[in-house]
Amino acid sequence: SQKIEQNSEALNIQEGKTATLTCNYTNYSPAYLQWYRQDPGRGPVFLLLIRENEKEKRKERLKVTFDTTLKQSLFHITASQPADSATYLCALEGGTGFQKLVFGTGTRLLVSP
Amino acid sequence: DTAVSQTPKYLVTQMGNDKSIKCEQNLGHDTMYWYKQDSKKFLKIMFSYNNKELIINETVPNRFSPKSPDKAHLNLHINSLELGDSAVYFCASSQDNRANEQYFGPGTRLTVT
């Protein structure tokens, strides 16, 4: 069956360190993958999109990689700040030809000062 | 100006009632979506409309009926509400139905008692 797995346990790191979040999937062949941030009581906010023919994408302190052989995406936040504390969701293109996103359950990141 | 807005923000109602949630986007996007986020924070697509045409209809009970009067609006009507319908419902939009970032509304927290 199809699965998208993100660490269900919260990731606790210290300010200034690099946070690395993992998204693994099985039985999907997504044409692209997106990462969103969600704060409590709010809707998800788009961060980055990476296509299957791209290995890496960067935006300011954010970096995402996409390994279609390992079926894995890694999401990095460098020089993390307490304001980066949130839940991060990965979302795969669901293979319908339309933009159907299938979301993972998210990983909560806590950055302590 | 809010890009994607939803009303109401909170909705508390009894089992068996019928209720509607409204969504509007002022981004000029062609595609709109409804998502359901359950108590475990799992975000799942329900419907998608592109230029007022239904293009994604997941396995949602037919008590849920979306309506798109125009490209900027996508409403969700729910008949005969059940306890299991309690969740946060998010509306989202994207430029079109290809690989684009999605903009989410603030969510409507529905509680069925």
- Nearest 10 degrees: Cα torsion B49, B65, B78, B22: 40
Q: Encode pLDDT of B96-113 as tens digits.
A: 888 889 999 999 999 999
Q: Do B104 and A34 touch (CB under 8 A)?
A: no
Average pLDDT of chain B? 94
Tens digits of residue pLDDT in B36-88:
999 888 999 999 999 989 988 887 899 999 999 999 999 999 999 999 999 99
Nearest one of A71, A59, A81 to A27, comparing CA atoms? A71
Confidence check: pLDDT of B1 > 70: no
Give the confidence band of A97 by pLDDT, cuts at 50, 70, 90. Answer: low
- pLDDT, residue B60, reads 85
Q: Which residues of B touch A94 (CB under 8 A)?
A: 45
Q: Across the strands, what pairs with B19?
A: B78
Q: Tokens for A34? A: 């997106």
pLDDT of residue A2: 77
Backbone angles phi, psi at B112, to 5 degrees: -110, 125
The verdict on A59 touching B (C-beta cutoff 8 Å) is: no
Q: Note whether B55 contacts A98, CB cutoff 8 Å.
A: yes
